[in-house]
Amino acid sequence: MKKASKDILRLSLEKRAEMAFQEAVAEVVNEHARLKLPLHVWRNGKVVALSAPEARHDLDVVTRK
């Protein structure tokens, strides 16, 4: 685990939690891509299987501000 910089520690707990969650999701997507496994997500009331590239695209769209 990386040691947090002092700049990150100045952020709110909510922002740090959001950043940690986004990093964890990115790691899951990368691991699924490495193993060539689909990711299963809940979308519009149904479970949908996404390929890693589709999941990366969705992650990019969601995290883009």
Q: Where are the domains of the chain?
A: 13-63
Q: Which pLDDT value is given to residue 4?
A: 63
Q: Which pLDDT value is given to residue 2?
A: 62
Exposed, middle or buried, 43 (CB in 10 Å: 0-12/13-18/19+)?
A: exposed
How far, in Å, CA of 37 to CA of 17, rounded? 27
Q: Which pLDDT value is given to residue 52?
A: 86
Per-residue pLDDT of the chain (65 residues; tens, 9 = 90+): 566 677 888 999 999 999 999 899 889 999 999 999 999 999 999 999 999 889 888 877 776 65
Across the chain, where does the E strand assignment appear? 39-43, 46-50
Q: Which pLDDT value is given to residue 56?
A: 85
Q: Which pLDDT value is given to residue 1?
A: 52
* 8 Å CB contact between 52 and 32: yes
Q: Which pLDDT value is given to residue 37?
A: 94
